[in-house]
Amino acid sequence: MVEGSPDFAFADQNDHLLDVTIEHGGSFTATDPGVQRVEIPAGGSAITYLGWDAASTSGALVATKMYGAQYAGAVRGSWPVSVDVVADSTVAVTAWALQPAAG
């Protein structure tokens, strides 16, 4: 079971967190289903979407790592990314939703 929205942060190649605004809700790339309790069946999964406007990366520190957790305050995991998220970007994060079944 998940509820609400996940927690994300972005870091540059020096592993310094970028000053990125995280907004909960939809973006031009994804519709937010709204906060709800999501019961995940055996073998199922939940999904969230991130959206942001393209940013110029010329001379900017660019996100090379993304940190994420199921909810704010939980321990974040991290993984490498190659995205045009830079300082002062705004990233929209949708609430959790049940991942549609394949097929």
pLDDT at residue number 101? 78
Query: How does pLDDT run across 44-66, given as a tens digit for each residue?
Result: 999 999 999 998 999 999 999 99
pLDDT at 98 over 70: yes
Span 6-24, mean pLDDT? 97
pLDDT at residue number 102? 75
User: In DSSP terms, which residues pair with 47 in a beta bridge?
Assistant: 97
pLDDT at 103 over 90: no
